């Protein structure tokens, strides 16, 4: 007992007396920390410091405050934004013929371009004081989503000026003079912008761009001024072939010291009129057969004045941080909008098609193999809308959450890819044969675009989500890194000492918290709600603890090697991502008023998220280099094993059935999907057949009963069966007519386009008349 008391007293002295603690504990740890500290370049530091930490910080720290999540306001359109949706957007959609745009015109028609300019579609993010719409992020997202269900090419055209580009960069960083000149011109469509970042040797690694601007003197407007001699070669630049103003990212150098002692100033952004001497644009790429404008821009030793730098000369070398912060718009608004639109279109049409298409006398939606795929489509569609609204809502709250938007970009585009693949499998030949009646083909073609842009998905998952999240979201690591990097060693040690004590307490809390929740399977964790979703809050809290614990051990054991262990860090990123996705689903369920009809979708989404969390943890434990640590931590987090499972069949079937039943739930799930009222609208065709088939169900039941009773033969051709049913007065003339009209609609919904000999070869010629007939 006395020995234990002595140990306690000694420990208290060591930990409690600052000088002793610093010399015996903090100083050695500090030296080790500096050795294992991952080297951080200036661009990495700027990326780490850019943006803000939002809900992901709660998830990463092991104790998410669910009341905070519920307290976020539900994003909603203003009256003005809703009016724009109901009028200008609907007018635009009626003007679009996506088949002609993609296969015949290879461009939006002139009247569409004019309408987009006139009605301010390119000015949604620009303040009203400059002639713009000043719409919210949720409005921007909703408008792009709605357009995308009609035409992906049109949606991308609208999306880009309202995403990463001159407009947003000017808003945040432009000088007043730059704003006063450019923003009104962008608002009224006088100028069409593009932004050039990617080049042949620099894609996702934007810090490697070879394009350069050399500070020098030159002539501009008849005067000698200080400026830049720019040389660049860019590709994959959306709107470049039609742009009138070019945003350009380049590395800035001052070899003669005209601006000061710094020779390499870093990445810089400038705004250049396309008609400026030496600027080359106009060449087009052909991105997966889509018709949106995309191409190249080049320039060799093009002189511009320093005033053309976005933000003016004071923002020289600050372009990387500008870009990282503004990328949140593309990752958090535009690409999630495209992914959600794709899913809602697939859910609406695949549910309808699965009723209309019959095999062996049954609608194919009755077969369990189809139901499994339909369940994925429905569950992921619900999830995607939850993520879209929550992420856009964060931006409307004034946040710029770089980790959250990276999660949204990667996982939403990947979920969208799953959905379109399942939809294509169910549609089979109907989805494969291109033509005016095909509503899936262009979405399928366009899926790799979203996967690729704004940081390729492989990079986003393996380097960004956890790479930034571990440092930014952790309550102490980034501050510890700054302390270790402090040139004043004594002050750095002092700062580190205070952080270390807090970090140890944080880690100990997560260790014992994870052990308790693991042993009790999270049953005693608190939940902010009761009912069927309470268990999900408890499990997410448990997994949040586990993530915090595994992250600390990973950074402690692997140090600087962690960012090179991409498969390890990506799995931890997957855990963080699924925690965020699950949070968005629960938030949507609460914000929508806990609709009973939503529960199958909530169960599907949550069970899938938990399964993926368990799968990611399992891969982490199996592959962590230090086997002793891996086994110990696994026993702490999952003492009884990992038992999360994918949704049960009954949940999957409930979701599938909801897609094949007309009503409020289906309408809410796919509220962004455009259904044209024109006779030849492809989505309208399958939708009308679907509704008609449900309307005749009572009549079909009469025929089935008659067959069971032996009054009608079971395998009569359709027309002969109707004649026999009329003759025996099983159905009325009106009912027979209704069945015939429904069957005509059904066959039209199943039909695909075929072309006359030579017609496809001449499809691009406007003079060629295209005569098509539909075949079942």
Q: How far is CA 96 from the centre of its chain?
A: 25
Look up the pTM and report it.
Answer: 0.92
Residue 721 domain flag:
yes
Count other C-beta atoms under 10 Å from residue 691's C-beta.
14
Q: Say yes or no to pLDDT of 137 above 70.
A: yes
**Tens digits of residue pLDDT in 431-457:** 999 999 999 999 999 999 989 887 788
Q: Which two tokens stand for residue 447?
A: 């899926």
pLDDT of amino acid 93: 97
Quick: pLDDT tens for 55-94: 999 998 899 999 999 999 999 999 999 999 999 999 999 9
Mean pLDDT, the chain, integer: 88
Structural domain harbouring 766: 697-775
Active site residue 454: yes
**Quick check: is 319 in a domain?**
no
Is pLDDT above 50 for 773?
no
| Range 423-429 average pLDDT | 96
Q: Per the structure, how many domains does the chain have? A: 1
Instruction: Give tens-digit pLDDT for 219-242.
Output: 999 999 999 999 999 999 999 999
Task: Give the highest mean pLDDT range of 199-208, 250-259, 470-479, 480-489.
Answer: 250-259
Q: Confirm whether 755 is domain-assigned.
A: yes
Active-site residue identified among 81, 168, 414, 454 = 454
pLDDT at res. 196: 92
Strand partners, 232: 299
Q: Encoding tokens for residue 654?
A: 């409930």
Asked if residue 770 is part of any domain, the answer here is yes
Determine the Cα–Cα distance for residues 40 and 44; give it in Å rounded to an integer.
6
What CA–CA distance (Å, rounded) separates 535 from 541?
A: 10
pLDDT average, residue stretch 390-401: 92
93-109 tens-digit pLDDT: 999 999 999 998 899 99
Predicted local confidence at residue 153, as pLDDT: 95
State what percent of residues in the chain have pLDDT above 90.
68
Measured in Å, how far apart are the chain's first and last C-alpha atoms? 89
Question: Is 223 within a domain?
Answer: no
Whether the per-residue pLDDT at 12 is higher than 60: the answer is no
Asked, for residue 736, whether it belongs to a domain, the answer is: yes
Strands (E), 259-329: 264-273, 294-305
pLDDT band with cut points at 50, 70 and 90 for residue 502: confident
In a domain, 752, yes or no: yes
In the numeric block, which tokens belong to residue 767? 């003079």
Element containing residue 718 per DSSP (H, E)? helix 718-727
Cα 603 from Cα 645, distance rounded (Å) = 12
CA distance 322 to 51: 10
Please give the structure tokens belonging to residue 83: 């009016």
Q: State the average pLDDT over residues 642-667.
A: 96
Please report whether residue 727 resides in a domain: yes
Residue-level pLDDT at 540: 97
Residues 547 and 553: their CA atoms lie apart, in Å, by 10
Question: Please, what sign has the CA dihedral across residues 147, 458, 267, 54?
Answer: positive
pLDDT reading at 164 higher than 90: no
Please give the pLDDT value at position 16: 54
771: pLDDT strictly greater than 60? no
Residue whose C-alpha is closest to residue 692's, from 753, 743, 623: 743
Q: Is the pLDDT of residue 4 over 60?
A: no
């Amino acid at each position: 007992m006395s020995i234990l008391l002595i140990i306690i007293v000694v420990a208290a002295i060591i930990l409690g007396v600052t000088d002793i603690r610093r010399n015996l504990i903090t100083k050695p740890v500090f030296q080790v920390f500096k050795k294992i500290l991952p080297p951080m370049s200036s661009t990495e530091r700027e990326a780490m410091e850019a943006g803000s930490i939002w809900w992901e910080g709660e998830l990463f720290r092991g104790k998410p405050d669910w009341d905070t999540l519920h307290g976020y306001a539900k994003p909603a359109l203003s009256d003005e934004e809703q009016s724009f949706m109901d009028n200008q957007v609907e007018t635009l959609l009626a003007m679009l013929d996506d088949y002609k745009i993609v296969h015949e015109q290879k461009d939006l028609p002139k009247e569409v371009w004019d309408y987009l300019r006139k009605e301010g579609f390119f000015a949604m993010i620009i303040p009203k004081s400059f002639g713009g719409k000043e719409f919210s992020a949720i409005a921007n997202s909703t408008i792009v989503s709605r357009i995308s269900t009609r035409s992906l090419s049109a949606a991308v055209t609208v999306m880009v000026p309202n995403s990463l580009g001159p407009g947003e960069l000017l808003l945040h960083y432009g000088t007043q003079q730059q704003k006063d000149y450019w923003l009104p011109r962008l608002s009224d469509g006088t100028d069409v912008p593009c932004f050039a970042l990617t080049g042949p040797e620099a894609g996702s690694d934007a810090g490697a761009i070879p394009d350069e601007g050399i500070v020098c003197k030159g002539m501009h407007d008849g005067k000698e001024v200080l400026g830049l001699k720019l040389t660049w070669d860019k590709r994959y630049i959306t709107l470049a072939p039609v742009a009138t103003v070019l945003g350009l990212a380049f590395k800035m150098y001052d070899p003669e010291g005209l601006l000061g002692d710094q020779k390499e100033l870093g990445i810089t952004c400038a705004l250049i009129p396309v008609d400026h001497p030496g600027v080359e644009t106009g060449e087009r790429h052909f991105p997966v057969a889509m018709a949106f404008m995309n191409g190249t821009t080049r320039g060799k030793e093009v002189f511009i004045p320093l005033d053309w730098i976005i933000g003016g000369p004071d923002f020289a070398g600050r372009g990387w941080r500008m870009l990282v912060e503004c990328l949140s718009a593309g990752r958090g608004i535009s690409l999630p909008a495209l992914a959600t639109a794709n899913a809602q279109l697939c859910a609406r049409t695949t549910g309808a098609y699965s009723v209309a298409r019959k095999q062996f006398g049954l609608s194919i939606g009755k077969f369990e193999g189809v139901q499994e795929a339909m369940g994925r489509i429905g569950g992921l569609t619900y999830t995607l809308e939850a993520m879209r609204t929550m992420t856009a809502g964060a931006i409307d709250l004034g946040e710029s959450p770089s980790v959250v938007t990276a999660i949204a970009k990667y996982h939403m585009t990947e979920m969208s890819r799953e959905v379109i693949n399942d939809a294509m499998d169910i549609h089979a030949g109907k989805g494969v044969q291109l033509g005016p009646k095909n509503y899936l083909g262009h979405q399928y073609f366009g899926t790799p675009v979203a996967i690729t842009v704004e940081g390729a998905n492989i990079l986003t998952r393996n380097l960004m989500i956890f790479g930034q999240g571990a440092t930014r979201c952790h309550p102490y690591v980034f501050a510890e890194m700054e302390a270790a990097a402090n040139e004043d060693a004594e002050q750095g040690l002092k700062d580190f000492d205070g952080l270390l004590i807090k970090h140890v307490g944080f880690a100990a809390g997560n260790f014992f918290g994870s052990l308790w929740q693991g042993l009790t399977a999270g049953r005693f964790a608190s939940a902010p709600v009761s009912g069927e979703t309470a268990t999900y809050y408890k499990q997410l809290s448990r997994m949040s603890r586990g993530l915090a614990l595994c992250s600390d051990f990973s950074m402690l054991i692997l140090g600087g090697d962690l960012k090179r262990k991409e498969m390890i860090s990506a799995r931890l990123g997957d855990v963080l991502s699924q925690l965020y996705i699950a949070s968005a689903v629960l938030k949507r369920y609460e914000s929508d008023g806990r609709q009973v009809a939503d529960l199958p979708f909530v169960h599907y989404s949550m069970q899938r998220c938990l399964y993926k969390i368990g799968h990611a943890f399992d891969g982490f434990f199996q592959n962590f280099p230090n086997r002793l640590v891996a086994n110990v931590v696994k026993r702490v987090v999952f003492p009884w094993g990992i038992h999360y499972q994918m949704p049960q069949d009954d949940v999957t079937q409930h979701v599938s059935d909801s897609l094949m039943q007309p009503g409020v739930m289906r309408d809410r799930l796919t509220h962004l999907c455009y259904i044209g009222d024109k006779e030849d609208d492809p989505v309208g065709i399958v939708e009308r057949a679907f509704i008609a088939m449900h309307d005749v169900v009572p009549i079909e039941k009469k025929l089935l009963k008659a067959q069971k009773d032996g009054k009608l033969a079971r395998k009569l051709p359709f027309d002969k069966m109707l004649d026999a049913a009329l003759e025996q007065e099983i159905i009325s003339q009106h009912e027979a007519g209704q069945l015939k009209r429904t069957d005509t609609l059904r066959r039209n919904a199943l039909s695909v386009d075929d072309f006359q000999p030579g017609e496809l070869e001449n499809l691009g010629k406007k003079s060629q008349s295209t005569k098509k007939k539909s075949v079942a």
